[in-house]
Chains A and B, each alone.
Chain A
Amino acid sequence: MAHRKKNRNVGIIGIGQTKYSSHREDVNQPEMIHEAVQLALDDAGLTMDDIDCIVHGNMELFEMIYQPDLWHVIGTGAYGKSEFRITTGGTVGITLACASDNLVASGMYDIVMAIGFEKLQEGHTTGGITNMADPLWFRHLQTGALTGSGAYDVINEFGEERAKKASMMYRIIMDKHASLNPNAHRSFGLEFEQMDDLIKNSPKLVGDLKLIEMCSQSDGACAVIFACEKKAKALSKKPVWIRDHVTVHREETFFIFGYDEKYPVTMTHSLAAKRLFERNNIKKPIDYFDVFEMYDPASWWAVDWLRDFFLLKGDEHLKLVENKDIMIGGKMPVNPSGGVIGSNPIGATALVRVAEAALQIRGDAGAHQIPTPVNHALASGFGGTMWTVLMMLEKELNW
């Protein structure tokens, strides 16, 4: 695949996040978005006059508003400015970041603000996602993003007891992380001692996917400001640099269930990871990265995907979870923010991964800041039946 170096470097200089919640009936959509926009501008020390272009995204089917960017102008500040709108399913948030990076790197704009938002309480999430499937056949069958196939695969490969414990261990770790993040939507105060009880008692959604293992449906917005190297250095004491990003899409994928190893299927996560790490000459991603903000829609998938993203073999990914290496303070912290299981305002969710990875590099994550220095961070986005976006962030411009 052809891939060229950027024309110029791009840094993140401002981050704003609302509190993620299922109770934002106190504000309408543009008002909620404005909270994140104002926080990002304050963080960067800028005003709306400094922003050259806005990239706005969410999923129209969730709230059933076509071109929401029109109504939202009063909250985004886009009046009279360049604006792009992006909607790519679960990946939309990180695609906003990729687009912003490209827009600045190209030289077309010096400062771009990405805004992702969702008010899932104003629509029907599972109904909306089910409309993703083609209306001629698969829409009859789909249950939104809910499937027990991830659980089935892990259970088949590693046995029921080990698999179920790994999934619930991951879930409890995310809950512990979320309890340290004041913006997180859900934090139940789960303890490791509850593992067996939760495995037994949390209601099932589909197959072995339990309600507690699935992400929340949140309201919230996230805004991130990107600037060219010159402006980033002039305006920010600690810009976070976007090193590279990769997107791998594929056809709508419903045939990957009932796996037969004699007929391997190309999986987008591992393909994206391979491409990104090869061209950046990263041999052992698990050693290179200091933190990973992963789009983890459910704990089963999360456990499974660690292997894909870090190019691991055998049960290395399960051990990362079982040994609590993915916890804050562990050797490969994953989602110190509490992740998508903790908060999922879908159009913002994947941008939150980038924002949280950048906060970790800046050292500004607050109570969920990991204790060791963060120089290299990875963020991922997931959407559709199998679409992947990965973004690498760096503290220093030295690669």
Chain B
Amino acid sequence: MAEYFGVKVEDIFNTMQERFRPEGAQGVDASFGYDITGEGKWKLSVKNGKMTIEKTDDLSGCCVVTVTDGETFVGVNVGKVDGMSAFTSGKLKAEGDLGALGKTAKMFRKFTQAKKEMSVRDYLLDMFGTVEKRFRPAAAEGVDAVFAFDLGGDYGGQWSVIIKDKTCKVIDKIDGKPTTKLEFIDAKDYVDFSLGKIDAQSLLGAARAAVVGDINLVMKWGEFFEKYVDPMAGDVKEQELLVLKKTISVNQRFATGPYMGRFLRALKDKKIIGTKCPKCGRIQLPAREICAECRVRSDEWVEVGPKGQVRYMDYAYYASPDPLTGETRETPYGSIHIRLDGCKGNETFTHFIRRDQIDRIERGWNEKSGTRVRPVWNENRTGSFKDILYFEIDE
């Protein structure tokens, strides 16, 4: 199996179990398929806050199947490829319920690449191996000193850093009488101290470290040498950038006014009524008190429909949020513009079509008629959009 960005496709799937967040999978009861070209197929099943992952050629029953190549799949998971761009350009496809795909993002902690471990000994060699490179000659003007390091423990050792005539030299022993000597009982403490994991006060206070000789010189170490950079820290920025997450949820009340109110009231009686412009004759649905085009009041009420023909349907694949509830709409769905009987031209009325009939809808165009539809009324009508559940084919 090929590696992409240093990671195999299998690594992503094999770590899913340990990255799984049950709290992000609440209420999810579904299977998700992954078809990775040339690598194989995997099926992720989630139920009751638990998950299973299996490599299988049978992706039946999955609500959505992600189809992509190994490089894109790994790239998106390790953050090297922008998922949206891959999706937009068709490199990553999702077959099925796109809305459901979004749920998987919440279910897993981010994949992190397993790092090669560095031992205490590796660190010590790296730290002293880079001292000469990190030396700042300008800061050591007139300094003639020897720093000795006596580091105990299994991985410890002795080093001397000699500064003289604006040069620096490191040797792996302690020779003669150093200007100052740092003693650490355990070399690991020195590593942790250098990486900023533990502070000098704690070590000195606990007598795990001691300074013999000129302590003022020790304080100047930071001026003489650039800070040691942990090679395992990756590309973490110096300052962590924070993003604050907020959710706004407010209750709202909207007055309908007398015209819209009358229109909504009529829905309770299973009637669709609109207002007709006295000047241009157009019927507006829902009813509006003004014909904005003619700048006159529309006072005449007419009952139309309730059956009519579809003039246009938006076949929506995009998992759009319903701004009134915050819930993601189930996809695909069809929002339709219907010319109700009694209306003409572009005097259309809008609602949804029964979801299982989307693929059977013919749209009108000029003289061509669209599919005939009828409203399906809600049994419990309150004078709102939801008094009509949806329209269905009139057959």
Q: Which residues does A use to contact B, with CB under 8 Å?
A: 22, 25-26, 64, 124, 126-127, 130-131, 135-144, 146-149, 152, 156, 186, 188, 190, 197-198, 201-207, 211-212, 250-251, 254-263, 265-266
Contact = CB atoms under 8 A, between A and B. Distances in A.
B48 interface: no
Contact of A143 (B293, B318, B350, B364): B318
Contact of B365 (A156, A202, A206): A156
Nearest to B365: A156
Interface stretch (B35-43, B141-149, B166-174, B309-317): B309-317
Interface in B294-324: 310-318, 320-324
A130 B321 contact: yes
A130 B323 CA distance: 7
Given A130-B323, A136-B264, A201-B93, 5 more contacts: A25-B243, A146-B320, A205-B317, A205-B318, A260-B364
A130 B320 contact: yes
B246 to A, nearest CB: 8
Interface of B: 82, 84-85, 87-90, 93-94, 98, 241, 243, 248, 252, 254, 256, 260, 264, 284, 286, 292-293, 310-318, 320-324, 335, 337, 339, 344-348, 350-352, 363-366, 370, 385-386
A258 B292 contact: no
Contacts of A198: 89-90
A149 B345 contact: no
A46 B262 CA distance: 59
Contacts of A139: 323-324
18 contacts: A26-B241, A126-B318, A136-B256, A140-B386, A141-B350, A143-B314, A149-B312, A186-B88, A188-B89, A197-B90, A201-B93, A202-B89, A202-B90, A212-B88, A250-B292, A251-B292, A257-B348, A260-B345
A212 B89 contact: yes
Nearest to A205: B318
Contacts of A263: 344-346
B87 A141 contact: no
A176 B80 CA distance: 23
A231 B347 CA distance: 52
Contacts of A259: 311, 346, 365-366
Nearest to B250: A64
A135 B254 contact: yes
B370 A258 contact: yes
Contacts of A25: 241, 243
Given A156-B365, A198-B90, A263-B344, A141 B292 contact: no
A262 B366 contact: yes
A142 B314 CA distance: 10
A263 B85 CA distance: 41
Given A141-B350, A205-B317, A266-B293, A258 B337 contact: yes
A36 to B, nearest CB: 20
B316 A255 contact: no
A262 B345 contact: yes
B90 A203 contact: yes
Contacts of A188: 85, 88-89
A137 B335 CA distance: 13
Contacts of B87: 203, 211
Contact of B318 (A131, A202, A206, A250): A206
Contacts of B312: 149, 152, 257-258
A259 B345 CA distance: 8
Find the residue from A22, A138, A144, A254 having the highest chain B CB count within 10 A: A254
Contacts of A64: 248
A137 B90 contact: no
A197 B93 CA distance: 13
A359 to B, nearest CB: 27
A211 B88 CA distance: 5
Contacts of B241: 25-26
Given A201-B90, A212-B89, A265-B346, A207 B315 contact: yes
A149 B343 CA distance: 21
A148 B339 CA distance: 19
Contacts of B98: 203
A133 to B, nearest CB: 9
B318 A257 contact: no
A201 B256 CA distance: 44
Per CB-CB distance, the 3 closest pairs between chain A and chain B, nearest first, are A258-B311, A263-B345, A201-B90
Given A141-B352, A258-B364, A260-B366, A136 B260 contact: yes
Nearest to B243: A25
Contacts of B292: 250-251
Nearest to B242: A25
Contact of A146 (B316, B324, B351): B316
B130 to A, nearest CB: 29
Nearest to B370: A258
B339 A258 contact: yes
A255 B347 contact: yes
A251 B260 CA distance: 16
